[in-house]
Structure 1
Amino acid sequence: MKILMLGEALSRKGGIVSVQQLILEQADSTVKIEHIATLVDGSPAKKLLAFFKSLFDLSSKLLLGKIDLVHIHVSERGSAFRQSVTTLVSKLFGKPVVMHTHGSEFHEFYSHLPIFLRVFLGWTYRQCDRFIVLSESWKRFYVEALKLKEQNVSVLPNAVRIPDQIPRRIGGRDNEVLFVFFGRIGQRKGAFDLVQSLLHLPACDRTRLRLVMAGDGETEKLRELVLELGLDHIVIVRDWVSPQEREALSREASVFILPSYNEGLPMALLEAMSWGLAIITTPVGGIPGLIKHKENGILVEPGDIYQIADAIRSLLENNALRTSLGQAARESVLPFGADSYWKALTNIYSSTATQRTATKR
């Protein structure tokens, strides 16, 4: 099969790009995938120019008639409208479309749109032959809010590369414990709540804690907050780290924490689980379908800095709990390996193309 994949430029940062890269790496001899960037970094003018170029490239390739299916990655806001256009162009050429949703805040974005834009987006999304969502909760939302046909919506959680071996983490009452946060630094991911929560730890616990927060977004604002609160001796704020640096930190760390307000199914969470880290996160988006409280992680309510502090304290003081939650997290994520993901995705490709051919007949 020949697939045309549309999404963010592969040079950008974030979970959507990680998913695209994993798919491209997994592609075997039975499937040829070509990627077109619909969004690049830069000024508004550069982004607009790149989008028009992507429409030209898309139309040119579809005009040649050598594409079997178009796979479109979409989130919210501008992405929703850009990919509505690419969907309509693809359908104009009679090509089957698989829409792959990632937006963690799409429900809020959609609910605040004027009625005519909601009608437009709903109609456009219903033109897609197949819809991929990250969890059952997201499937319910899209079916109910956008009136999608339930049989056309497939649940496909994000995949993760599973390390063959992970460190044996040996801890004790006197050992320093490294916590890590990876992702977009800002309010949505709960980055500021996390730092504020540290003030509610006993002083003896703070002496054993080290927290590395790495990502893009409001990094300078976070650094200012850390200094203002006098926590710069235990909190290190870094810019976006490379996959190799993230792997090194995951080997050294014992706990991953992501106190988000909204999520799809974050790649950073899946990666942390694959490294056997104990997890502290929130029951939002697709997360509660994966993390069960005190079975393979600790769930706290978004914005509740006291719950965050209590969860941190429990993992600082209980090495056995850290170890057991980390082991359970890794076991939980094993079915999300790249091979299983690729098999499920190619089944979606095949069934979509077959369904489209049967419909034409």
Structure 2
Amino acid sequence: MGAFPKKNGKVFGGFVTVCNALLESSFQDKFRLILIDSTQTSNPPPNFLIRTGFALRRFFLFVYHLILEKPQTVLIFTASGFGLLEKGMMGRLAQVRGVPNLMFPGGGYLLKNYDNSLRMRFFSSIALKKADKILCQGKQWQDFAVEKLGFSLENTPIVENWTATEKFLKIGDERDFSDISDKKIRVLFVGWLDREKGVMEILDALVHSSISQSISLELVGEGNAYMDAREWVEKNSLSEIVSFRGWLQAGDLEAAYRNADVFLLPSWMEGLPNAMVEAMAAGLVPVVSAVGNIPSVVTHGENGLLVQPKDSRSIELALQQILLDRSLVEKLGKKACQFARENFSTEVAVGKLTKVLLEVINSSSTK
């Protein structure tokens, strides 16, 4: 259960990226997969009645496959909110039928709000606490599962992000840094154009400093701050340096990574953003907020730069640092690509995921 929209469909987001990368890897050669798509059809999401209808359809489809196909295990990708509750109920139903339930949560909302949200604690108690295993994107997720949900380390294996695919690593390997000293620094944002992603702080950093004369900014994606961002750009005469690309399909997205120097994502909250891993694989310098699992990946001054969330001045200073020392583009970009190759390449993660699944299947078959 995950993000498996139709090919060439206009559905985007982190789980779509993750699931697509999985299907394009050797993973589908190792198992017979029964795919159920749970992608959101729009952002903002449709009204409650429409969402309920989609949820009921997914639930009956899940039950149908569970009874007739008799899977050996279920692997469920989930975010927070009502989707977490829905998928948790599916996982519990699988367990009633004797099928092991592996939950793979993502995003930063649950990690950030668990302690202060009764709803999040309630949803987690139903959806996650009874899972056979929680697959964790990183150490922070593992700590959360152990400390807050009561799991053992054995049942919270870490399977890192796997979106450092060969096509992005190839871009990183072929990157030419020779002309970086005599041109504008090209900054790229990829993701939901939501306020929570720090979009308005990025634009504010450009307005109140001189760095706008030395950079160009490309915003890839759409979201709840899209119109506000466009109005801000027009109002502050930034149209010559800021471009809005909307969502890009694979080839155009790869070109955007290839043509950029710096990846900028100052989110207020995150788990481990897929776009950041793609950018690192492509040899871009990640300038990202120190939230979620990001600090376990990006070491400030070594393979990227960390900024504070909700702080446009922090963004401005990071970009100024790169403009004052352009050798950082090559130094940090190469280190970022190397880190992505060693830790987030698709086949490395597929090997870890395969090992976990086979252990669960073999253990279940002996009971």
Q: State whether TM-score is above 0.5.
A: yes
Q: Does 1:224 align with 2:243?
A: no
Judge conservation of contact 2:222–2:246 (CA < 8 Å) in 1: yes
Q: CA RMSD in A?
A: 1.9
Which residue is equivalent to 2:341? 334
Which residue is equivalent to 2:23? 24
More strand by percentage:
1
SS for the counterpart of 2:33 is: strand
Q: CA deviation at 1:39?
A: 4.1
SS for the counterpart of 2:52 is: helix
What are the superposed Cα offsets for residues 161-189 of structure 1, whole Å, 9 maximum, x if unpaired? 13324221333543122110001112211
Which residue is equivalent to 2:55? 51
Q: CA deviation at 1:345?
A: 0.8
Which residue is equivalent to 2:13? 14
Query: Size of the alignment, in residue pairs?
Result: 352
Q: Does 1:62 align with 2:66?
A: yes
What are the superposed Cα offsets for residues 79-110 of structure 1, whole Å, 9 maximum, x if unpaired? 21111121122112111111001121113443
SS for the counterpart of 2:36 is: strand
Judge conservation of contact 1:281–1:298 (CA < 8 Å) in 2: yes
Q: CA deviation at 1:52?
A: 1.2
SS for the counterpart of 1:248 is: helix
Cα–Cα, structure 1 residues 87 and 28, in superposed 2: closer, same or farther, change >3 Å? closer
Between stretches 233-242 and 106-115, larger displacement belongs to: 106-115
Which residue is equivalent to 1:282? 289
Whole-Å separation in 1 of the counterparts to 2:190 and 2:122: 36
Residue 265 of structure 1 is aligned with which of 255, 269, 272?
Answer: 272
Judge conservation of contact 2:283–2:334 (CA < 8 Å) in 1: yes
What are the superposed Cα offsets for residues 219-275 of structure 1, whole Å, 9 maximum, x if unpaired? 111111111222122111221111211111111111111111111111100010111
Considering Cα pairs closer than 8 Å and 6+ residues apart, tell me whether 1 or 2 has the greater RCO: 2
Cα–Cα, structure 1 residues 6 and 239, in superposed 2: closer, same or farther, change >3 Å? closer
Which residue is equivalent to 2:190? 182
In structure 1, give the amino acid aligned to 2:209.
L
Whole-Å separation in 2 of the counterparts to 1:304 and 1:119: 32
Name structure 1 gaps, 5 residues minimum.
none
Which residue is equivalent to 2:322? 315
Q: Does 1:213 align with 2:219?
A: yes
Name structure 2 gaps, 5 residues minimum.
none
Residue 325 of structure 1 is aligned with which of 290, 315, 332?
Answer: 332
Whole-Å separation in 1 of the counterparts to 2:62 and 2:358: 21
Q: Percent identity?
A: 25
Judge conservation of contact 2:111–2:141 (CA < 8 Å) in 1: no
SS for the counterpart of 2:291 is: coil
Cα–Cα, structure 1 residues 139 and 245, in superposed 2: closer, same or farther, change >3 Å? same
Q: CA deviation at 1:74?
A: 0.7
Cα–Cα, structure 1 residues 8 and 122, in superposed 2: closer, same or farther, change >3 Å? farther
Cα–Cα, structure 1 residues 7 and 239, in superposed 2: closer, same or farther, change >3 Å? closer
